[in-house]
């Protein structure tokens, strides 16, 4: 009897938690198809807001800026993250624990602090605000997340596989490409997808380092919200939600297939 009651309570609790998390998102998606400009009453189904969104050149330019920054920063931060994780895992040196702890500082410090510090740094080295500063800033906060995910993958790595490869005549570079990298690839893909999502969703850091001609999509949405939320913003948010979920599902599918193989 107690176990049955516990099961019912656990189920109700789980339903309430998921409702709290996903009901606002579901409402946003539904009202992106609402004919009315007001998000308080349903007046009919329409795709007009998506059509208007596709005709808004400012929003499309902001989207292109976000994609450029996300793809470039994710690519570079993934390369840096892989080298950092593998190097920290393989080699032992004085101050390694301190350096390892410093890598996680960008994760724990407030984004406002990071944004201000990057703005001050770019001003000191006389780098004008624009796509370059955005890319450098996004690499800065993306690398620790990639290192964290790849380190988790390396935690269960069998070094004897690398040793066997070296014994069979492979060089260190060949061993890395043919043995190490394929084995840690699920972690690399997961870290890259996480970095891409963080980059394309970032507002706070981008607000400090973006230039007047390098507005990203989240910054554009933020500026639009100030004048009142319209179904056009709902449509834009819905598209971003589906893109993010698609990337997450792709990453999960890759990780699942790698584990089964």
pLDDT band at 69 (very low <50, low <70, confident <90, very high): very high
**Mean pLDDT, residues 217-226:** 80
Residue 50 has pLDDT above 80, yes or no: yes
pTM: 0.80
Give the rounded percent of residues in the chain with a pLDDT score beyond 90: 12
Tokens of 258: 């790698």
Domains by residue range for the chain, with CATH: 50-260 (1.10.3720.10)
Residue 77 has pLDDT above 90, yes or no: yes
Query: Mean pLDDT highest for which of 75-79, 154-158, 160-164?
Result: 75-79
Residue 204 has pLDDT above 70, yes or no: yes
The neighbour count for residue 167, using CB atoms within 10 Å, is 9
- In this predicted structure, which of 58-72, 104-118, 194-208, 243-257 has the lowest mean pLDDT? 243-257
Per-residue pLDDT tens over the stretch 88-146 = 877 777 777 787 778 888 888 888 889 999 999 999 998 888 889 999 999 999 999 99
Sort 245 into a burial class: Cβ within 10 Å, 0-12 / 13-18 / 19+: exposed
DSSP per-residue string spanning 141-186: HHHHHHHHHHHHHHTT--HHHHHHHHHTT--HHHHIIIIIHHHHHH
Q: What is the pLDDT at residue 62?
A: 86
């Amino acid at each position: 009897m107690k176990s049955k009651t516990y099961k019912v309570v656990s189920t109700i609790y789980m339903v309430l938690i998921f409702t709290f998390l996903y009901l606002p998102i579901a409402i946003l998606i539904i009202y992106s198809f609402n004919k009315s400009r007001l998000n308080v009453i349903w007046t009919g189904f329409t795709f007009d807001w998506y059509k208007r969104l596709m005709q808004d050149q400012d929003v499309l330019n902001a989207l292109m800026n976000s994609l450029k920054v996300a793809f470039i920063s994710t690519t570079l931060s993934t390369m840096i993250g892989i080298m950092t994780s593998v190097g920290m895992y393989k080699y032992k040196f004085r101050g390694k624990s301190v350096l390892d702890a410093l890598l996680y500082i960008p994760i724990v410090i407030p984004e406002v602090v990071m944004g201000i510090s990057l703005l001050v740094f770019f001003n000191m080295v006389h780098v004008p605000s624009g796509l370059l500063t955005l890319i450098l800033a996004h690499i800065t906060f993306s690398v620790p997340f990639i290192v964290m995910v790849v380190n988790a993958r390396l935690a269960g790595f069998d070094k004897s596989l690398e040793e066997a490869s070296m014994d069979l005549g492979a060089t260190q570079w060949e061993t890395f490409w043919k043995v190490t990298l394929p084995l840690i690839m699920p972690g690399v893909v997961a870290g890259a997808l996480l970095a891409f999502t963080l980059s394309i969703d970032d507002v706070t850091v981008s607000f400090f380092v973006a230039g007047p001609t390098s507005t990203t999509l989240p910054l554009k949405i933020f500026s639009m919200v100030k004048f009142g939320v319209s179904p056009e913003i709902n449509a834009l948010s819905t598209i971003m939600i589906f893109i993010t979920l698609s990337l997450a599902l792709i990453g999960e599918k890759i990780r699942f297939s790698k584990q089964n193989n």
